[in-house]
């Protein structure tokens, strides 16, 4: 089988390419988070091809499909950092919504040109996030309630994928995963930040009290699950994928400090825990994302291999053995500073927390949903461009009615 993997030079995408035995065509724009060094062990393989292409460039993506003739698509290309989405949501709208639309159109027209057997076997696998459902324990049928520009853009892309199946018959699969960690990530997320900062004596920023709960999922387990879904998943199904490892952010930080104390002790033998610094929470930050991943276990027989304890130790050891890679991939554009600290972000933070009691206590369950506005794409001169939002107004969140 030949698979197009979008975003294959970034964290999860590169893990998929390293894991799979199939032929792979890696489509990646190589933004700040993409690095081909993550694929050094596969780059010379006969089963691997790389195309530096923006998924919003319809003409270029059409050419790749025409030349490579894939049997499946695994769509991982996305802007994914919540803090960056708060500071600059435009890139998230362009890549996550318009880029997904463009890729779906390429895949649809390509799929319609295939012979009967290849058409029947083709799959478009869209990889998404647990954040689309908001602050709840969610299953595959939980209503969406995104809280950030990032999660709203991913929710939009999920809806587009399902619509292309229902409207055009394109065979699709959707997976939603929890927080990934492991080898080869960009250094802006919590776990790489907490490993790298203390080695340089920098503070460890912990949002608010650090009591936000996330399910932590080792990336190699995720890659295994994704490959199983694209080959064995049932057309039209959604599968939640998680690590069954819920921990508060502060617990994660302290665990990492203790591992560094053991594996790379400081010269004065003081604990890295002393670098913990509590900072103002990000705007719209939910306390808990929880994922019910029982369906994939029942339907496909998949369960994660790594516990949090085993996976996090492997991760710290990998970082300590690959500090050169970390420095090279970081470059000079990002120095692990805290993002989403703009004046607008702080104002949104204050509005969010002043209404939080209404949002989570006073309102009935059926009203705790956020309606997202939609951007409408169009084709212009063969290239994708964005059209402004429709003039119609969509209902506001009920909490926004309060002063």
pLDDT tens for residues 348-398?
434 433 333 333 333 333 333 323 323 333 333 333 333 333 333 323 333
Residue 141 has pLDDT above 80, yes or no: yes
Look up tokens 């120095």; give the residue: 335
Using alpha carbons only, how large is the chain's radius of gyration in Å? 21
In this structure, what token pair is assigned to residue 117?
Answer: 């057997």
**Quick check: is 371 in a domain?**
no
pLDDT digits (tens, 9 = 90+) for 122-136: 999 999 998 899 887
How many domains does the chain fold into?
1
Cβ-based burial of 153 (10 A; exposed 0-12, middle 13-18, buried ≥19): buried
Q: Report the distance separating Cα 139 and Cα 292, nearest Å.
A: 5
Greater pLDDT, 245 or 263: 263
**What per-residue confidence (pLDDT) applies to 283?**
78
- Number of other CB atoms surrounding residue 357 within 10 Å: 12
Residue 29 has pLDDT above 50, yes or no: yes
28 is catalytic: no
Q: Report the distance separating Cα 212 and Cα 284, nearest Å.
A: 12
Question: What's the chain's average pLDDT?
Answer: 84
22, 28, 94, 131: which one is catalytic? 131
Residue 4 has pLDDT above 90, yes or no: yes
- Which residues on adjacent β-strands are paired with residue 175? 127, 239
**Quick check: is 108 in a domain?**
yes
**Quick check: is 76 in a domain?**
yes
Domain around 272: 2-351
Residue 107 has pLDDT above 70, yes or no: yes
Find the CATH number of the domain harbouring 341: 3.40.50.720
**What per-residue confidence (pLDDT) applies to 56?**
98
**Quick check: is 400 in a domain?**
no
Cβ neighbors of 148 (< 8 A, separation 6 or more) are: 82, 85, 86, 131, 283, 284
**What per-residue confidence (pLDDT) applies to 331?**
62
131 is catalytic: yes
**Quick check: is 188 in a domain?**
yes
**What per-residue confidence (pLDDT) applies to 81?**
82
Q: What angle do CA 82, 86, 88 make, to 5 degrees?
A: 110
Q: What angle do CA 385, 36, 82 make, to 5 degrees?
A: 55
Residue 62 has pLDDT above 80, yes or no: yes
Task: Give the model's confidence band at 281: pLDDT under 50 very low, under 70 low, under 90 confident, else very high.
Answer: confident
Greater pLDDT, 327 or 229: 229
Q: What angle do CA 153, 158, 160 make, to 5 degrees?
A: 95
Q: Quick one: average pLDDT of 187-214?
A: 90
Residue 324 has pLDDT above 80, yes or no: yes
Q: Report the distance separating Cα 159 and Cα 91, nearest Å.
A: 19
Q: Report the distance separating Cα 50 and Cα 161, nearest Å.
A: 24
Greater pLDDT, 273 or 367: 273
Quote the distance between the C-alpha of residue 182 and its chain's center. Answer: 14
105 is catalytic: no
Cβ neighbors of 245 (< 8 A, separation 6 or more) are: 215, 216, 217, 307, 308, 311
Distances (CA, A) of 306 to 213, 296, 349: 19, 16, 36
**Quick check: is 359 in a domain?**
no
22, 94, 130, 215: which one is catalytic? 130
Buried b (16+ CB within 10 A) or exposed e, 201-220: eeebbbbbebebebbbbbbb
Q: Report the distance separating Cα 294 and Cα 290, nearest Å.
A: 12
**Quick check: is 97 in a domain?**
yes
101, 110, 150, 181: which one is catalytic? 150
Residue 31 has pLDDT above 80, yes or no: yes
**Quick check: is 362 in a domain?**
no
């Amino acid at each position: 089988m030949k698979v197009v993997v979008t975003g294959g030079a970034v964290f999860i995408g590169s893990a998929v390419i390293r894991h799979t035995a199939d032929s792979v065509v890696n489509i990646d724009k190589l933004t700040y988070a993409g690095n081909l060094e993550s694929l050094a062990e596969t780059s010379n393989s006969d089963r691997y091809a790389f195309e530096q292409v923006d998924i919003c460039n319809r003409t270029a993506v059409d050419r790749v499909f025409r030349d490579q003739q894939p049997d499946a698509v695994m769509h991982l290309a996305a802007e994914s950092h919540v803090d960056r989405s708060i500071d600059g949501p435009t890139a998230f709208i362009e890549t996550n919504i318009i880029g997904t639309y463009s890729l779906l159109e390429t895949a649809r027209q390509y799929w319609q040109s295939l012979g009967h057997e290849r058409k029947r076997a083709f799959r478009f696998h869209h990889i998404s996030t647990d954040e689309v459902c908001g602050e709840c324990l969610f299953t595959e049928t939980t209503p969406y309630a995104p809280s950030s520009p990032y999660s709203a853009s991913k929710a939009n892309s999920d809806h587009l994928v399902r619509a292309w199946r229902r409207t055009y018959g394109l065979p699709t699969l959707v997976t939603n995963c929890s927080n990934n960690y492991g080898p080869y990530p960009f250094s802006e997320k919590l776990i790489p930040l907490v490993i790298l900062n203390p080695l340089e004596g920098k503070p460890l920023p912990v949002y608010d009290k650090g009591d936000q709960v996330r399910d932590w999922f080792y990336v190699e387990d995720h890659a295994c699950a994704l490959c199983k879904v694209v080959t064995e998943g049932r057309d039209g199904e959604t599968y939640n994928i998680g690590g069954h490892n819920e921990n508060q952010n502060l617990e994660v930080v302290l665990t990492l400090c203790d591992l560094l104390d053991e594996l790379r002790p400081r010269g004065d033998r003081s604990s890295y825990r002393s670098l913990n610094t509590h900072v103002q929470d990000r705007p719209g930050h939910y306390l808990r994302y929880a994922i019910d991943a029982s369906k994939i276990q029942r339907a496909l027989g998949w369960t994660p291999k790594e516990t949090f304890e085993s996976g996090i130790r492997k991760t710290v050891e990998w970082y300590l053995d690959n500090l050169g890679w970390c420095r090279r991939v970081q470059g000079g554009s990002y120095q692990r500073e805290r993002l989403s600290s703009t004046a607008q972000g702080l104002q949104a933070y204050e509005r969010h927390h002043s209404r939080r009691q209404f949002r989570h206590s006073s309102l009935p369950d059926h009203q705790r949903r956020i309606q997202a506005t939609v951007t409408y794409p169009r084709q212009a001169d063969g290239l994708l461009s964005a059209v402004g939002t429709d003039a119609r107004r969509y209902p506001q969140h009920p909490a926004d009615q309060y002063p």
